[in-house]
A = this chain, B = another copy of it.
Amino acid sequence: MMRTLYLTQDGQLHTNLTADDLFRAAQDPEGLLWVDLDREPLDSCEPILKDIFGFHPLAVDDALRQTHVPKVDDWGYYIFLVFYSILYQSSDEEPIITKEVDVFLGKHYLVTYHKQPIFSIENIWETCQRDTRSLSKGAAHLLYQLIDDLIANYMTVVDDISEEIDLIEDQVFSNPQQETLERIFALKRNLIHLRRLLVPQREVLYKLSRVDFQVIEAEFGVFFRDVYDHIVRLNDIIESLRDLTGSALDMYLSVVNNRMNEVMKTLTIITTLFMPLAFITGFFGMNFFQATSPLGAWTGQLALAITIMLIVFVPVGMYLWMRRRAWM
């Protein structure tokens, strides 16, 4: 699906241009044109990019086949950028979904191409339709709005993860489970994944804010610098969150270990308390105390009374001794 927004010099907004209109709009240095190729088949994209905008075939090939790394390529009178939109669903197996956004930026046009619907593009598109002021600041400013919205989503993801870590920390002390452990490791992996996504996008924004591109006027550097600062801060927060997940893992292991130790200690104490009893009953179960008369007295009532007292007081004594040594 191809859709177009075209703001002429006199402030008129045209949508859904025909091919001819589009060609004229692409050549108009005073207007502002935004073409969004949303899940458009390759065959219909190519002529638009090559014939109408005159992009280099190599750049077009690069854009249409799904590349894998955010980057910025300077082609002189236009630049080609790759960004990644992000979506986070913590309950999923693969919670971080990334969608590639390819952008061609010229002095007075912006061409976006993506194979899946991108929320940020919908968002900015609607804003532009409602209020042409968003378009009137030029193509570079439009790009800035788009990137700013894309990166703002990362912040949302980071906030979600931060909240999940809080939940897990509570869970670790109250009710640590194997699932808690799996969740901690999943968060750790997500944070490593996030950082890996942000680093190349940070590089792209660093270039946008510092390097002189023909199509970006110096005054816009400060906007991209702003988003760059945003990503740097995101990276800092991600590092904090990694510290927190590491801390949560240590907590989990300590708590589980403590619990396990308590269980094992109690069970072992029970076993130990019964050991002397087993000996005493075994002792009076020996055949000495039955067959020959001189030993017969040992099986008398007095002996039984003493035995039962031993059976009662030995475990009690051991229990008190363990108690004093603070084992329980």
Contact = CB atoms under 8 A, between A and B. Distances in A.
Interface of A: 69, 169, 173, 178, 181-182, 185, 188-189, 192, 195-196, 199-200, 233, 236-237, 240, 243-244, 247, 249-258, 260-261, 263-265, 267-272, 274-279, 281-292, 294-296, 299-301, 303-304, 307, 311, 327
Given A185-B247, A264-B264, A274-B278, A295 B304 contact: yes
Contact of A192 (B244, B256, B285, B311): B244
A250 B296 CA distance: 61
29 contacts: A69-B233, A169-B189, A178-B258, A181-B254, A192-B240, A192-B243, A199-B236, A253-B254, A256-B261, A263-B265, A263-B327, A264-B264, A267-B269, A268-B268, A271-B272, A274-B276, A277-B282, A278-B279, A278-B282, A279-B281, A281-B286, A282-B285, A284-B288, A287-B287, A287-B289, A287-B299, A288-B299, A288-B303, A291-B299
A292 B287 contact: no
A295 B301 CA distance: 8
What are the 7 closest A-B residue pairs judged by CB atoms, nearest first? Answer: A281-B282, A284-B286, A274-B275, A287-B289, A285-B285, A288-B304, A267-B268
Contacts of A283: 281, 311
Q: Main SS of the interface on chain A?
A: helix
B301 A294 contact: yes
Contacts of A275: 270-271, 274, 278
Contact of A300 (B169, B282, B292, B300): B292
Nearest to A298: B287
Contacts of A256: 258, 261
Contacts of A288: 284, 299, 303-304, 307
A236 B235 CA distance: 14
Q: Which of A182, A283, A303 has the most CB of B within 10 A?
A: A283
Contacts of A178: 255, 258
Contacts of A255: 178, 181
Contacts of A285: 281-282, 285-287
A281 B289 CA distance: 12
A275 B315 CA distance: 13
Nearest to A159: B68
B240 A195 contact: yes
A81 B137 CA distance: 27
A327 B269 CA distance: 15
Given A267-B269, A282-B282, 6 more contacts: A195-B240, A199-B236, A274-B276, A277-B279, A288-B303, A292-B301
Contacts of A199: 236
Contacts of A296: 291
Contacts of A200: 233
A182 B192 CA distance: 23
A71 to B, nearest CB: 9
Nearest to A236: B199
